[in-house]
Amino acid sequence: MEHKLLESIELASDVKKLNIEQLNDLCMELRDEIIEKVSETGGHLASNLGAVELTVALHYVFDSPDEPIIWDVGHQCYAHKILTGRDITGIRTEEGLSGFPKSSESEHDIFAAGHASTSVSAALGVAEAKKIAGDDNSVVAVVGDGATSGGMIYEALNNAGRSGTNLVVVLNDNEMSISPNVGAMAKYLAGIRSKEGYFRFKDNLEHFLLKIPVIGKGIFSVFRSVKRFFKDLFYSSNTFEHFGFVYLGPADGHDIAMLTRTFRRAKSIKRPVLVHINTVKGKGYEPAEKNPSKFHGVAPFDRKTGELKKVSGYSFSSAFGESLCKLAEKDDKICAITAAMTDGTGLRDFSEKYKNRFFDVGIAEEHAMTFAAGLAAGGMKPCFAVYSTFLQRAYDQVLHDASIEPKHVVIGIDRAGIVGGDGETHQGTFDVPILTTIPGVTVYSPTSYEELENSLEKAFAGEGVQAVRYPRGGEKNVPEKYAGKYHDFDYYENGGDCLIVTYGRLFAEASFAAEETGASVLKLGKIFPIEHEAVEIAKKYKNVLFFEESVEFGSIAEHFGSDLRKCGFEGKYEIHCVCGFVPHMKVENAMKLHGLDCESMKNAVKEALK
Amino acid sequence: MEHKLLESIELASDVKKLNIEQLNDLCMELRDEIIEKVSETGGHLASNLGAVELTVALHYVFDSPDEPIIWDVGHQCYAHKILTGRDITGIRTEEGLSGFPKSSESEHDIFAAGHASTSVSAALGVAEAKKIAGDDNSVVAVVGDGATSGGMIYEALNNAGRSGTNLVVVLNDNEMSISPNVGAMAKYLAGIRSKEGYFRFKDNLEHFLLKIPVIGKGIFSVFRSVKRFFKDLFYSSNTFEHFGFVYLGPADGHDIAMLTRTFRRAKSIKRPVLVHINTVKGKGYEPAEKNPSKFHGVAPFDRKTGELKKVSGYSFSSAFGESLCKLAEKDDKICAITAAMTDGTGLRDFSEKYKNRFFDVGIAEEHAMTFAAGLAAGGMKPCFAVYSTFLQRAYDQVLHDASIEPKHVVIGIDRAGIVGGDGETHQGTFDVPILTTIPGVTVYSPTSYEELENSLEKAFAGEGVQAVRYPRGGEKNVPEKYAGKYHDFDYYENGGDCLIVTYGRLFAEASFAAEETGASVLKLGKIFPIEHEAVEIAKKYKNVLFFEESVEFGSIAEHFGSDLRKCGFEGKYEIHCVCGFVPHMKVENAMKLHGLDCESMKNAVKEALK
């Protein structure tokens, strides 16, 4: 397909020069470009296809970057990237763009986001800044309906509606986040959606109401007048209006003419407006329309057939789900909780087999954690499965609700460590530092599927908060002698003066490095609290090298070093950790860059022994 | 006043034996007891007086602990403590009860809480556990309207309404949290409250609606029938009903007969119910009714006059507020943000002087932080003033929204360190460990009012997230030679082999300990990142003793020790930190217990020099 219009656009504002027919053609070209490029490298597809018309209409009506567009979660911003002069070839790879908005890429991205439900807070901040400066440009936040289960959105709407700013919140409603949505808000939105013609009806109603005479008595007498009564009911019947927003919608999110009209009206209103639009996830690409969950985030695929080129195999997530099912079969107190990640965390089977013990709470990690503590207080054995990066949102809940008075809650921490293509916003390099600040928390970091099951068993047999963390992807091979031991720590003595201490995924790298250099290896299985005996073993070495897939401050490496010092260790101690925020790149490349691959370990051992 | 009825109650269930008149008398006795005891020791007063009838009615209708009552925030639980056999004499002191629910005190407290908006999540967990076990007892959550600005409540309601559990949420609406409420939800609740007779009206309406004939055409033709139309509007006009709750209310929260009737009905419904009751903060004690903010948390007072026996003086909070005003006068970009703590954080003056640059977002720390980042992205210089313990709720927002792409946000962290009578749920002993995990964050910890202003100036001149933390209460005296230096670190060399390293409030203790023992002192002003030169100074000593008002894992002491090791330090290094969760006791006693007072420091120095 030729991309004539796309090629004609140099600045985002060039979109404004097109007529409706051309805008429709531009959308086709954008869709074609997105499908083509994502089929090559993988990436978020369904959400991006759903947001094409919406993006074009936004740039047609608003003047980015003076009227900035802030994308919630951010993975639906591909069309926005293209229209603001960026080439999405190789997106999410080291050579290409980030899969999320990024300020360093463009002045049109003023706020990065990979976590949900933050955009209205951010946009309200920018809008208040503009109000103070006397700048009456609009600020746009684009929120998927999936993000409406997150409490931050509610906190922001509670403040925004009556702020008097020129904030435009676009609710991009495709009836699902990654999977179909849960919760009351999702049902509520579905209720609005199903009222056909509601949009125009409300426009006309206002006019009609102004003509109604006052009746006075009877059932309505508690209200001052029927007019007031009707207006109250109509205009209060919408939750967003309770919040003080002008509500426009629902509008067809693939009808460019309707979208531009609606956005123009929103722009003209000069107070907070919520525009509710209905879109179809995967729109315009049949395989994605049919199976939007599968095409939410995809590996490279065959554009013609929609077949994935690389079917994702068995992983730590699968092993976690399988182990949890096994344990739940034997123990009917075991429950599983997810925050909108049933598939991502490997809980699909559990959700089907143990329906009454499975809870998908929507994107709501804070609630999920305290809800888990409540289940524990009620006598159940809950397991909250969550990505490391999203657990960050529930720090206070782990501390305040589950640890001050200890509740026996197991946390299955998926995507712990470096995650690859998602980049900075999704790295699992902070869970260890924050969990270890909380008194009473125990953390396991298994190296294999078998050890994962073993760790889960220990966690369910333990007390208080018990976390089991495992990386994205699958288990790694290790030389035979390093396999199959799952104690709180396992010590592989190879003679010599150098000891590598590590845990989790890095153990495989360490075992090969040890084989080649003669270093010994201390593998931590229960990584926290640190076992005194493990420290005593390390103390005997002249050189102790700790390798860890975490930021350094608050790492196990730091705690272990502190314990070593307390034991009177007199040797040399080195910490090899992740440094700073890690951008999007292959996991193995990030490992090399941060000195955590086998080769780097070998070099570090050789250097230490010099 | 005699407490005849109160004395007759041995078990919570004894309340059930009383008649309405006796229940009213019991409330008077409870009120008398609460006023008496709080006037002696201080504590939360206004909220407890408002919740007396509510508490009595709950115990009259529900069977605690089989039907547990979970108190949101928890500081309104004094009547509950008394009715469940506890003596509140000396509450919040070491000798007395905790000011919050506490499982170790009673089986009637199944969930502790000192942070807001957690109760519905916890109660839903317990209720789901009961549902799974086939136990149809109710679970009650009592939520103040102030907590409804917190996103967690929304997340929980979103899940609870359609859960099919026997959950009863009591919304204790007194039109304020600590200060009057802000935001759309507060206005919305006020709207409901003002509709007199709404309660009974809705009961009758349902009956009436069933008789209405179908009209069909006209303006209503888009709805299937007028009946459906009316029901939709009426029953959807309440936000809580959108969430799937049966809504009962608003009821007079001081009318025992009405409360018991309403709770009985709630108990009988066997699905999630929200009971909305109106109460008066401070009810029954005139000084508190007139000034509920002042009597929210009070020092001991004269019962007759309502006069506080100890007027709280100038404090770090006052100094912070004053400094921020000074800076804001010179720089019109400076904004202040609080999460419902205008007075607590010393921002009253700022809020009046710089109205358009002041934002009280309600109890909503997550939003507050990202909103601040938005203001920064819009060109302002925001300062979010927040208690250390509540900042825990915004960890992910500091990391994801303000640090991955650095936004220049200043955080004023009040109540940093040990807080005293509030106990475990409010200790400010975690902010340093969690903030230092986040790349790019700078932390200051001033020792005096003057240094606080100096630190704030540096923070506003800096980049990225800049935190300035200071304790509850006032500045401490130091020997003259230790005063008035405000560099990133200040070194007081006294000769000898021992160096005390510390920061913040402990510096005063350290300076006196140093004077008596001859130890030198290294005071950190900018505590993170750690200045290399400071480490180099410490390296020269044989004994380095770090004293810190923080938990140990992730502390500056640990990071400093790690840096010392990297520099090749060969001396002895000791970390003296806070251990575990600190219960309610005087700050000075906690300091002693954790070895952080002057005496302990002297002993540690002497021990080290042996």
DSSP secondary structure string for all residues of A267-327: HHH-S-EEEEEE--TTTT-HHHHH-TTTTTEE--B-TTT--BSS-----HHHHHHHHHHHH
Name the fold adopted by B316-469: Rossmann fold (3.40.50)
| Residue numbers of A annotated as active site | 281, 365, 393
Asked if residues B459 and B468 have their Cβ atoms less than 8 Å apart, the reply is yes
**Facing residue for A436 by CB, picked from B128, B372, B554:** B554
Distances (CA, A) of A42 to A1, A109, A295, B214, B497: 20, 22, 10, 55, 61
Query: Minimal Cα–Cα distance from B434 to chain A, Å?
Result: 6
Is B193 annotated as catalytic?
no
Query: Minimal Cα–Cα distance from A446 to chain B, Å?
Result: 22
Q: Is the ipTM of this complex over 0.95?
A: no
CB atoms within 10 A of CB A542: 14
CB-based contact, A543 to chain B, within 8 Å:
no
Q: Which of B357, B393, B415, B602 is catalytic?
A: B393
Q: Which residues of A touch B185 (CB under 8 A)?
A: 158, 243
What is the pTM (predicted TM-score) of this model? 0.93
CB-based contact, B103 to chain A, within 8 Å:
yes
CA count, 13 A, side-chain hemisphere, A387:
22
d(CA B462, CA B444): 12
d(CA B367, CA B373): 10
Is B393 annotated as catalytic?
yes
Mutate: best of B100, B148, B159, B243, partner A, most A CBs <10 A? B159
User: Where along chain B do the CATH 3.40.50.920 domains lie?
Assistant: 489-609
- Enclosing H/E stretch for B194: helix B184-194
CB atoms within 10 A of CB A259: 26
Is B472 annotated as catalytic?
no
Q: Which of B429, B581, B426, B428 is nearest to B113 (CA)?
A: B426
The secondary structure of residue B401, as a DSSP letter, is: I
Q: What is the mean pLDDT of each run of 10 residues along chain B (610 residues)?
A: 93 96 98 96 94 98 98 95 97 96 96 95 98 97 90 93 95 72 66 51 44 37 38 53 85 95 95 94 95 90 91 91 98 97 96 97 97 98 98 98 98 98 97 98 98 98 98 96 96 96 98 98 98 98 98 98 95 97 97 98 96
How far apart are the two ends of chain A, measured CA to CA in Å? 61
Instruction: Write down the pLDDT at residue A241.
Output: 79
Q: What dotted CATH number matches B489-609?
A: 3.40.50.920
What residue in A sits closest to B141 (Cα-Cα)? Answer: A374
**Facing residue for B132 by CB, picked from A125, A158, A380:** A380
Mutate: best of B553, B558, B569, B584, partner A, most A CBs <10 A? B553
d(CA B40, CA A439): 33
Asked if residues B104 and B149 have their Cβ atoms less than 8 Å apart, the reply is no
Q: Which residues of A touch B150 (CB under 8 A)?
A: 151, 155
CB-based contact, A321 to chain B, within 8 Å:
no
Instruction: Write down the pLDDT at residue B179.
Output: 55
H, E, C per residue of A472-491 = CCCCCCCCHHHCCCCCCEEE
Q: What is the mean pLDDT of each run of 10 residues along chain A (610 residues)?
A: 93 96 98 96 94 98 98 95 97 96 96 95 98 97 90 93 95 72 66 51 45 37 38 53 85 95 95 94 95 90 92 91 98 97 96 97 97 98 98 98 98 98 97 98 98 98 98 96 96 96 98 98 98 98 98 98 95 97 97 98 96
Give the SS3 label for residue B589.
helix
Instruction: Write down the pLDDT at residue B241.
Output: 79
CB-based contact, B392 to chain A, within 8 Å:
yes
Mutate: best of A69, A121, A163, A363, partner B, most B CBs <10 A? A121
Query: Minimal Cα–Cα distance from A256 to chain B, Å?
Result: 26
In the A/B pair of chains, how many CB contacts fall below 8 A?
A: 354
Q: Which residues of B touch A104 (CB under 8 A)?
A: 405
Does CATH place domain B4-298 in 3.40.47.10?
no
CB atoms within 10 A of CB A388: 28
Burial-class residue A580 by CB neighbours within 10 Å (0-12, 13-18, 19+): middle
CB-based contact, B362 to chain A, within 8 Å:
yes
Q: Which residues of A touch B151 (CB under 8 A)?
A: 150-155, 366
Query: Minimal Cα–Cα distance from B478 to chain A, Å?
Result: 31
Instruction: Write down the pLDDT at residue B235.
Output: 43
Instruction: Write down the pLDDT at residue B175.
Output: 76
Query: Minimal Cα–Cα distance from A158 to chain B, Å?
Result: 5
Helix axes A316-330, A449-461, angle to 10 degrees: 40
**Facing residue for A553 by CB, picked from B151, B404, B437:** B437
d(CA B493, CA B306): 51
Helix axes A365-377, B151-160, angle to 10 degrees: 60
d(CA A565, CA B572): 9
Cis peptide before B433 (omega within 30 of 0): no
Q: Which of B31, B130, B267, B281 is catalytic?
A: B281
User: Where along chain B do the CATH 3.40.50.970 domains lie?
Assistant: 4-298, 316-469
